[in-house]
Amino acid sequence: MRSVLRRAVPAVLVGLLLTACSTEVVAGQASPGAGEPVDVTADEFPITGSTDEPIDQFARNALADVETFWTEGYPEFFGEDYTPLEGGYFSVDADAVDESAYPETGIGCEGSPTAPEDVAGNAFYDPTCDVIAYDRTLLEELAGDYGRFLVPVVMAHEFGHAMQGRFGFAERGIQDETQADCFAGAWTAWVAAGEAQHVSIRTPELDDVIRGFLLLRDDVGSDPDDVQAHGSYFDRVSAFYEGFDGGLGPCRDAYGPDRLFTAAEFDDDRDSLNQGNAPFDQAVGFVSDTLPVFYGEVFPAAFGTDFEPPTIEGFQGTAPECEGLEDRDLGYCAEDNTVYVDETDLVTPAYDDIGDFALTTAVSLPYSLAVRDQAGLSIDDGAATRSAVCLTGWYQAQWFNGAFDDYALISPGDIDEAVQFLLTYGVDPQVFPNLDASGFELVGAFRTGFLQGGEACELER
């Protein structure tokens, strides 16, 4: 957030949505495939330069299943037969390149030769030669840092580019990259449904995949119109969810030139240096001022009564005496209509480690429970948790749409910080006790509110 001169805050539109994105979203839950996965052999699915190492076998298994997925899906959604990659697949060990394992053209073909060492730290699709190449050292690092299933997702993403090479690239980097993320999400849901023969996914691995996109996003504040742009953390995660929840249809239809992206450049060097973060006390003031303004506008329209803003109070390590707040880092106390947040163990660390919109998210979550309480809805079950996260997405969409520009301007990366907070802290029982949702589902609920507004946030009485 960036501070501006304070004036009267403009009215907030009831049901304000991001008009470029209207796909219905339902948080998904993966399950293991039907039966044990079976390795595909090197003869059945050759990869030039591959070895007997587990990482190559895992990549081969994933690519074989991705090819099966597209063999079935391409004719249905793009009206033509699927055509296999003409140039095939290449594996490279960037730490010890074996030149003898590759043809004279190296990675690729005569029209676009690539030296094997140039694959270091990368995985890519080359449209000139119709090949996919990867650095298996990179894949091992991704699997070690973010869980094994990020490797198949990277393979599915690159395969998505190969499909774009058939039906046509958008020729705008961020559109092509996020559409490939959507394709990867659609394939992942197919695996989760038990359709794959060679790979499987367990529910907790989806959290790791979403965390892994943080590594794969563009640098905060970089130019989204650059030809190499891939999108913000939220842009890429949102695209993956779109495919996971909706399949190939929205991946095909929702990536035109009018698609909305949250990625944006920093306006000046000052914002670049502080990553667009407001000072802690100022950020607390912004969220404390805007939450009552927002709900003061939308609550009467939704429920026919005035909204009574709860008090927001911080505490230092030990939660106040209130039923349900024992051993909690944040929560809503219905007895005194107060939102409590732990400054020592939650809000300050989250602000320091992630940024000011982590703080905004932390305060908004229990505030949303106060909204539900005044609406006569539950505040202590799974529906309440999902709804509070969804409402937080709706509230933060107002920031993105400029409803609070007279208080502060949203900065590049702010919405990414909300996703990071949910994955880092949202799954902690001291934030949401007895949580019946994964981090993947929490982020899905936030995305739903951000894109669809309050009507999608389980507010029915």
Alpha helix ranges (H) inside 168-219 = 173-192, 203-216
- Is 263 part of any domain? no
Query: Is position 408 within any domain?
Result: yes
Name the one residue in this structure whose structure tokens are 């106040």: 320
Q: Do 58 and 136 touch, CB atoms closer than 8 A?
A: no
Of 225, 253, 281, the one marking the end of a domain is 253
Which residue, 229, 253, 277, sits at the end of a domain? 253
One domain, residues 387 and 452: yes
Residues 199 and 293 in one domain: no
316 and 210 in a common domain: no
Domain co-membership, 174 together with 282: no
DSSP-derived secondary structure for 206-260: HHHHHHHHHHHSPPTB--TTSTT----HHHHHHHHHHHHHHTHHHHHHS-STT--
Classify residue 62: in a domain, yes or no.
Answer: yes
Would you state the structure tokens that stand for residue 134, as one six-digit string? Answer: 């990867």
Based on the fold, state whether residues 281 and 331 are members of the same structural domain: yes
Whether 97 is covered by a domain: the verdict is yes
Domain count, the chain: 2
Element at 146 (helix H, strand E): helix 136-146
**Long-range Cβ pairs for the range 300-303 (8 Å, 24+):** 301/14, 302/14, 302/375, 302/454, 302/459, 303/374, 303/375
Range of the domain at 108: 54-253
Which of 196, 185, 179, 162 is closest to 36 using CA atoms?
A: 196
Neighbouring C-beta atoms of residue 215, cutoff 10 Å: 12
Contact call for residues 246 and 23 (beta carbons, < 8 A): yes
Kindly state whether residues 229 and 358 are assigned to the same domain.
Answer: no
Q: What is the 3-state secondary structure (H, E, C) of 340-398?
A: EEEHHHHHHHHHHHCCHHHHHHHHHHHHHHHHHHHCCCCCCCHHHHHHHHHHHHHHHHH
Q: Does 298 lie in the same domain as 151?
A: no
| In a shared domain, residues 192 and 278 | no
Pairing of strands 88-92, 131-135: parallel
Q: Tell me whether residue 204 is in a domain.
A: yes
For residue 11, is it within any domain? yes
For residue 169, the SS3 value is coil
E strand map for 43-151 = 88-92, 123-126, 131-135
With respect to residue 46, please indicate whether it lies within any of the assigned structural domains. Answer: no
- Domain membership of residue 111 (yes or no) is yes
What local confidence, expressed as pLDDT, does residue 239 receive? 96
Rg, C-alpha atoms of the chain: 23
Hey, CA dihedral for 204, 428, 378, 371, is it positive or negative?
negative
Q: Is 408 helix (H, G, I), strand (E, B) or coil?
A: strand
Residue 275 and residue 241 in one domain: no
Q: How far is CA 139 from the centre of its chain?
A: 20
Which residues, in sequence order, are CB contacts of 416 under 8 Å at separation 6+?
214, 217, 220, 232, 233, 234, 262, 357
Together in a domain, 125 and 64: yes
Strands 123-126 and 311-315: what pairing?
unpaired
| Among 253, 282, 302, residue at a domain's last position | 253
With a cut of 70, list the residues of the chain below it in pLDDT.
1-35, 221, 268-275, 461
How far is the C-alpha of 366 from the C-alpha of 385, rounded, in Å?
A: 9
Here the tokens at position 448 are: 């739903």
Are the C-beta atoms of 190 and 244 separated by less than 8 Å? Answer: no
**Cα 227 to the chain's mean position, in Å?**
21
Place of tokens 């990625």: 263
Question: Residues 251, 241: contact at Cβ < 8 Å?
Answer: no
In terms of domains, do 205 and 293 share one? no
Tell whether 119 and 89 lie within a shared domain: yes
pLDDT at 21: 33
